[in-house]
């Protein structure tokens, strides 16, 4: 068993570093970092006991993962996500008790970094050090479109599921720390967000499809067309029924052609096409009744 330090730091309780309040190095900070990195090797993983977690399978190096969700925007079967993924661990070799403010580490002072990645890939990667505690934070800034999945047969009432994933190529264990939702109330109500349970390290996003447009452009017109044919049959006028039925069939075909050109789901097209057999049946019945009426005096 590893012996704990007397002045240990719990990385799970460390939340004071904000990704938007990072400044460049001062002269004092640079001098202190130069002194520290004189005998620092970034190929050696930190050995602070707070980084290790033990279970029945053994002891593993623990990396705390924190999600900062800045914004979400719903797209067509996808989601534009603006987020910051933060990885925390403790490097006791970088403790500088003379310094108190967090600062960003430049490329010349590169500490040990885990082989972690974010899906989608980040466009900005930043390493921040808390010198008083030795907590190193790796920031992945992600702003990309995530493709979402849904159950197709539920269209247009399906629910889309999207994932912002984190992976590790080493033997370290990723543990979920917390989710900081910085979005507006409108975005929060539109898109739900929650952390996945261990051992997965994923931010799950969920939103419902916009069915209002499908109702106005598909369901309502098709119902009105069928209703017109029904009332035309109710009046029992042959010419009126035939004209209305033909007009209804043409209208349905126009709707189908329009939605096929916009690559709409085939479930809606099937709904529209179901109206055609009804209209043809009504027209056939009306023709049959008209012929029976014409042949009655001859009998």
Residue 280's pLDDT is what? 57
In terms of Cα–Cα distance, which of 50, 113, 120, 112 is closest to 85? 120
Gap between the Cα atoms of 42 and 36, Å rounded: 12
∠ CA 175-96-130, rounded to 5°: 35
Residue 9's pLDDT is what? 46
Gap between the Cα atoms of 85 and 202, Å rounded: 10
Token couple for 122: 């980040």
Token couple for 67: 């999600």
Distances in Å between the Cα of 170 and the Cα atoms of 66, 90, 189 are: 19, 17, 37
Token couple for 24: 């460049």
Residue 232's contacts (CB-CB under 8 Å, 6 or more residues apart) are 240, 241, 244, 245, 282
Alpha helices in the chain (DSSP H): 27-36, 185-190, 212-214, 220-235, 238-261, 266-273, 275-295
| pTM (predicted TM-score) | 0.68
User: Binning pLDDT at 50, 70 and 90, where does residue 172 land?
Assistant: confident
In the chain, the N- to C-terminal Cα span, in Å, equals: 107
Q: Is 256's pLDDT higher than 80?
A: no
Q: Is 230's pLDDT higher than 60?
A: yes
Residue 219's pLDDT is what? 60
The tens digit of pLDDT for each residue in 95-121 reads 988 888 888 988 889 999 999 999 999
The tens digit of pLDDT for each residue in 56-94 reads 777 889 999 999 999 999 988 889 999 999 999 999 999
Mean pLDDT of the chain: 76
- % of the chain exceeding 90 in pLDDT: 32
Residue 161's pLDDT is what? 92
CB contact at 8 A, 22 and 128: yes
């Amino acid at each position: 068993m590893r012996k704990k330090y007397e002045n240990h730091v719990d990385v799970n309780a460390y939340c004071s570093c904000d990704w938007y309040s990072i400044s460049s190095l001062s002269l004092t900070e640079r001098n202190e970092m130069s002194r520290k990195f004189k005998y620092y090797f970034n190929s050696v993983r930190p050995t602070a006991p707070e980084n290790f977690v033990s279970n029945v399978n053994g002891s593993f190096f623990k990396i705390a993962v924190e999600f900062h969700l800045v914004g979400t925007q719903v797209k067509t079967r996808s989601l534009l996500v603006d987020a910051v993924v933060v990885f925390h661990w403790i490097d006791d070799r970088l403790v500088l008790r003379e310094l108190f403010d967090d600062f960003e580490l430049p490329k010349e002072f590169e500490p040990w970094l885990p082989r972690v990645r974010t899906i989608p890939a980040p466009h900005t990667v930043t390493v921040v050090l808390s010198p008083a505690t030795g907590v190193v934070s790796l920031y992945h800034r992600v702003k990309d479109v995530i493709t979402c999945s849904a159950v197709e047969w539920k269209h247009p009432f399906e629910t889309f599921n999207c994932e912002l994933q984190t992976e590790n190529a080493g033997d370290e264990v990723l543990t979920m720390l917390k989710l900081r939702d910085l979005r507006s109330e409108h975005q929060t109500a539109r898109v739900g967000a929650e952390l996945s349970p261990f051992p997965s390290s994923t931010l799950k996003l969920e939103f419902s499809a916009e069915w209002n447009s499908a109702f106005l452009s598909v369901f309502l017109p098709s119902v009105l067309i069928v209703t017109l044919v029904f009332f035309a049959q109710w009046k029992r006028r042959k010419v009126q029924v035939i004209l209305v039925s033909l007009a209804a069939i043409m209208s349905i075909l126009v709707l189908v052609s329009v939605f096929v050109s916009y690559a709409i789901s085939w479930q809606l097209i099937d709904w529209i096409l179901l109206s055609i057999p009804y209209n043809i049946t009504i027209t056939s019945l009306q023709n049959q009744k008209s012929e029976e009426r014409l042949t009655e005096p001859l009998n």
